[in-house]
Structure 1
Amino acid sequence: MKKILFTIAMVAVGFTATAQENAKGGFEKQDWYVSGTAGYNNISVEGIDSDVSSFTFSPSVGYFVSDNIALEMGLILGESTTEFFGDTIEASQFGVTLAGNYFFTPQSDFSFVVGAGLSYISTGNEINGNEQPDSSTFAIAVAPGVNYFISERLALRALVGALSYSSTSADGSSSSTNTFGLNLNLSDVNFGLTYKF
């Protein structure tokens, strides 16, 4: 059994070394990049006159402070529409983020990534065209993902779900809504591109 495990380990080490030698792209300390992810969700409830659709776009710029860790600053732009028993609720979002990403194999074409970040989002709301009080959300999230270089400078990125906590309050209100969530399935996937300078 020990010989089999040793053989598997040696093959894995050899494969990793070969993959790094033949890598098209990859990151290293002091690299700069720009990135953007986009997400779309649509939820319809059968038997109830309810439909929710949302779109988000998050551009960002990042810098590798070490071989594996990149700091990122970005924006959050979003729109959502909810149809509920004849009422139309529309929301628009604008926010800023500060995050840190850990790349497990940054010098390879393919790398698993885990990111943790803080965000502040301001949301404007309308019900049937009538403006409602804006709301503010502070959030913290940890999200897994992957990064794959398709050329020397261009990579594909995907984030799958998140472990998150958020606190939302309406302007002028003393109460807030606190939410804790864990979603690590394919119902919440954000795809994006990364360009390395």
Structure 2
Amino acid sequence: MRNLLILIIVLANAINVTAQGQKGMIELGGQLSYTLSEYEDIYYYNLETYDYKSQRFVISPKIGWFVSSSSVLGFGIEFEYIKNERSNSIPDESKKHLFSFNPYFRNYQKIIDKLFFTTTIDLALGFGQESNEDYYTTDIFTYSINARPGISYFLSDKWALKTNFGSLFYQRTNKKITEGVEGKQPELKDSDFGFSFSMNSFSLGVGYYF
């Protein structure tokens, strides 16, 4: 964890450039995404083929202030909803929703006119719940720190297309089963640290500046 923080601080301080914004300007942005996955697999309990379907929806509005011509401090909120379904002779369905608070710092580095490389460092504090309709309900608390590279292309002085790809991250998740276990509330704790370049780390959005 300490090494990650040192790397993020060095990365942020290494970038000192002129960006599209001006001190005092406001940046509005966010993300809206929907992912659908469907596939077939073998249920090894009885060697039966089943159909699996997963849906993920994310919405995350953000607002930021240019504290210099190249640096933005901001805040966002995020809502994530996931639904997994299995269809066979033993059907199953689970759902998860997570609401997060998301302060962030973003720095812009000019590549060519209107095209900028961005480095975003964000913190996330999330609360939610995960449930299986037949078995359990779990309360979730999670916090994370992420460093995300990206690209912003300014279509005009007011509008930009923005994308992030990859993430250097540390995440801690605590889960407590609150329903479905008689007389017990077992807790689970997970910690993840690493670099991700999966589709879940890729996002595309828009920004409005005024």
How high is the TM-score relative to the length of structure 2? 0.73
**Which residue of the other structure, out of 101, 117, 124, is the alignment partner of 1:119?**
124
Change (3 A) 1:182 1:42: farther
Q: Which residue matches 2:193?
A: 180
Structure 1: unaligned runs, 5 residues or longer: 1-19
1:92 aligns with 2:97: yes
Contact 2:65 2:74 in 1 (8 A): yes
> For residues 68 and 106 of structure 1, what CA distance do their matches in structure 2 show?
13
Query: In the alignment, does 2:30 pair up with 1:36?
Result: yes
Shift of 1:47: 2.5
Out of 104-113 and 149-158, give the one that drifted further: 104-113
Deviation at 1:26, TM superposition (A): 2.3
Q: 2:57 aligns with which of 55, 58, 65?
A: 55
Match of 2:21 in 1: 27
The alpha carbon displacement at 1:129 in A equals 6.9
**Contact 1:28-1:107 at 8 Å conserved across structures:** no
Structure 2 residue runs of 5 or longer lacking an equivalent are 1-17, 43-49, 177-184
| Paired residue type of 1:102 | N
1:102 to 90, 99, 107: 107
TM-score, normalisation: structure 1 = 0.77
CA distance in 2, matches of 1:72, 1:106: 23
| Residues 109-188 of structure 1 aligned to structure 2 (within 5 Å) | 109-128=114-133, 132-171=137-176, 174-185=187-198, 188=201
Q: Decide whether the 8 Å contact of 1:88 with 1:128 is kept in 2.
A: yes
CA separation in 2, counterparts of 1:150 and 1:173?
Answer: 51
How many residue pairs get matched? 174
Amino acid at match of 1:38: L
Taking the aligned partners of 2:86 and 2:197, their CA distance within structure 1 comes to 27
Aligned residues of 1:62 and 1:71 also touching (Cα < 8 A)? yes
User: 1:105–1:84: structure 2 CA closer, same or farther, 3 Å change rule?
Assistant: same
Residue of structure 1 in register with 2:75 after alignment = 73
Aligned to 1:15: none
